[in-house]
């Protein structure tokens, strides 16, 4: 269920990117794609009745049933990379706004 929701989120993001002409909205859509992708990655490693992959004093043995830790590690990386691109995109958006005075692609003319 949640896996399909993740795929639909990615599709939503793609639709948003294709149909929007506002650069801030495009960055928002990009973020939606990333969130959907991250949920999908985590869902690939989920195991029913599995426990979170941390050894503690209550779950102290490695022989118990854990959920897959590798996708979680990958998502940590993906989240940070996403923040990097978002920050850069927003900085570019600010730059574009100071040059053209608008966020709308249609109002910028096609001098680029």
Partner 1 sequence: MTLTDIIMAVVSVLLLGIAFMAVSSKKLIKGVIFLSALSMLSVVSYVLMKAPDVALTEAVIGSGMVTALFVFTLLSIDKGATK
Partner 2 sequence: MSSLAVLLIAIPLLAAFVSILSKKIAPYLLLAVSLVNVLLLFYFVPNGIVVIGGYDLPYGINLFVDAFSRIGLGVVNVLFLIVVLLNIVEFKKFSSILLVALAGLNGLLLTGDLFNLFVFLEVAGIAAYLITTSNKKPLATFRYLIIGSVGSSLYLFGLIILYGMFGTLNLMDMVSFIQANNVEASALVLPATLMFIGLGVEAKLLPFNSWVKGVLKDSNTLSGPMIAAVYAATISFVFGRIINNLLSLAFVGNLLIVVLVLLAVGIFIAEAMAFSSTKVREILLYSSIAQASIVVLLFVNGIVLWAVYLIIANALSKTVMFLVANKAAKDHGSDESESLQGIFSKNILVGITFSVATLSVMGLPLFFGFVVKLNYLTELALGAQWAILAVILISSIIEGIYFVRMLIKLWYPEKNEVNVTFDLRFKVVFVAIALILLALGTYTAPLNTLDNSIDTIAEVIDNG
Partner 3 sequence: MKNIIAFVLSVALGVLMVLSLTNNDWFAQFGYADLTDRVSQSYIDKSVTGTPGEIIFGVTSNPEDGAANIVTSIVVDYRSFDTLGEVTVLFISALGVALLLSSEDKNKRLQLNFKPNFMLRVGSRALFSIILMTGVYVILHGHLTPGGGFPGGTMIASSILLLYLADDQFRAKVKGFKLLEGVAGSFYVVIGLLGLLVASYFLQNFLPTGTVGDLFSAGIIPIVYILIGLKVGSEIAGIIDNFLTEEEVSL
User: Applying CB under 8 A, which residues contact partner 2?
Assistant: 10, 14, 17, 23, 26-27, 30, 33-34, 37, 40-41, 44, 70-71, 74, 77-78, 81, 84-85, 88-89, 92-93, 95-96, 99-100, 105, 108, 112
Long-range contacts of 29-37 (CB under 8 A, 24+ apart): 30/85, 30/86, 30/89, 31/82, 31/86, 33/9, 34/78, 34/79, 34/82, 35/9, 36/6, 36/7, 36/8, 36/9, 36/10, 36/12, 37/6, 37/10, 37/78
Minimum CB separation of residue 61 from partner 2 in Å reads: 21
Give contact residues for partner 3 (rule: CB under 8 A): 1-4, 7-8, 10-12, 14-15, 18-19, 43-48, 52-57, 59-63, 66-70, 72-74, 76-77, 79-81, 83-85, 87-88, 90-92, 94-95, 98-99, 101
């Amino acid at each position: 269920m949640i896996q399909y929701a993740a795929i639909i989120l990615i599709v939503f993001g793609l639709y948003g990117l294709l149909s929007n002409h506002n650069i801030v909205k495009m960055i928002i859509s990009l973020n939606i794609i990333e969130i959907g992708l991250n949920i999908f990655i985590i869902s690939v490693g989920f195991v029913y009745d599995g426990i979170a992959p941390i050894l503690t004093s209550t779950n102290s043995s490695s022989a118990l049933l854990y959920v897959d830790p590798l996708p979680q590690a990958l998502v940590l990386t993906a989240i940070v990379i996403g923040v990097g691109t978002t920050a850069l995109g927003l900085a570019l958006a600010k730059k574009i706004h100071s040059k053209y005075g608008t966020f709308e692609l249609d109002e910028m003319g096609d001098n680029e």
